[in-house]
Structure 1
Amino acid sequence: MILQATNVSKTFGRRRAGAPKAVDDITISVAPADFIAVVGESGSGKSTVARILLGLIAPDEGTVTFNGEDLSSMSRAQRMEFRSSVQCVLQDPAAALNPRKSVSDILAEVIVLHGIARGRKQVLEKVHEALEIVDLQPAQMYANRYPHQLSGGQRQRVLIARAVILSPSIIIADEAVSALDVSVKAGVLNLLNRLGRDLNIGYLFITHDLPVVKKVAHDIYVMKDGRVVEHASKKVLFEHPATAYTRELLAAAPVPDPRVARDWIKAAG
């Protein structure tokens, strides 16, 4: 299963000659077991790429395909399969979770909608199974809580549970750990890595946090002004960045060792 955008461009507002493009001629793909990162500063087009790949907005040019099928021409049944197979985890779990519903109700809604289980008992079993997968245990305790009764890290785990409950092949994570404390962030990243291995999930990971990328990614796309300016493996990009912009991003990232940081700053200059 491969999710691929090919020569995709998107302009918001009136499309006129010379108008800046939010995304400009992007080609990117992700498959199960991949951990692909897309990095760049705010306004570089990262989140627009994520929304195009999720089918939430249509590109002006280019195509987005899943298993070779163009999203724009999918049947209702194909679209439903796509929605199950490609899930998202967003930056702000507080905004993504209904504050009026318990965790159990939030997860049960997805289970019932997609026909994963029938009957109250089976649905509840699936809810508890999903919570245990993301290390929210005892599941019964967390199932009965409301989003405001959870920490930021716990809410993010609920979002991940809501995604994996559908057995997706790909998860698009848009700044999924940027709002978390360092120790909580590490736990969520370890969880994503484990789920990737155990459930054969591929990730498209949108972030501006290069230390996070160094920890989890296999391949990295660097975006600037709507374009991909560099694409390389993690090892190549961190050791031999090809563009001045990538070197600037690396120089700006917090580095625990001040000597390493000084070397990056000199290289970027």
Structure 2
Amino acid sequence: MAKIFCVANQKGGVGKTTTSVNLAAGLAKIGQRVLLVDLDPQGNATMGAGINKAELEATVYQVLLGLADVKSTRKHSETGKFDVLPANRELAGAEVEMVELEQREKRLKNALAEVEAEYDFMLIDCPPALSMLTLNGLCAAHGVIIPMQCEYYALEGLSDLVNTIKIVHAKLNPDLKIIGLLRVMFDPRVTLSQQVSAQLEQHFGDKVFKAIIPRNVRLAEAPSYGMPGVVFDPSSKGAQAYVAFGTEMVERIKSM
């Protein structure tokens, strides 16, 4: 049975997609079978995995509406060595179309159940909003990974996300829990970054991953080549940090 995790934060530009793609590739590197689900209409995780979103016949949009299944829709990332349930701009229309569907918040959960036995991990890259798509991700998942920049506004948004997770846990998905907070785009030279990092550790304790992802040019360059950063330049500090994070994730799951 696969462990299913959302990578979520309603704040944009905090490295959700970079984390999703590189964690998927990092887990694949250490022998895990991985499916990456792109739930963001921008389709950046799809492109970052080396799949052309403009050439897709079916996407997660059709899966959510019951017009296709995961087996026929998924693609294989040749660069990352993991499978992808892709997305493109069509997905933006799903918000409206799902309103009248039965079990609208559990459409993704039901679709993924068909292939759950084929994977060790399923990672869901959520859009930067607490929307019906994000709700589908939270209802399908066993846990949430929260990428965070160590800056003041990130702390402001974190409380909203934690409250949402608590509500979903209470009303829709009793399995849901916060797996951990991942510090991303970290610059140790910035005093504020160090202060916010210390606050996170103080408040969330062992929920904060030990792995810290540094601000790294090679990670930023990788998507333009259709590759995860851990494949594009394995020797870069960012790539090594994501592989370390993947290893820490596997160990953390064993102790859950």
Q: TM-score, normalised by structure 1?
A: 0.32
Computing the radius of gyration from Cα coordinates, the structure with the larger value is 1
Q: Which has the higher helix share?
A: 2
Q: TM-score, normalised by structure 2?
A: 0.33
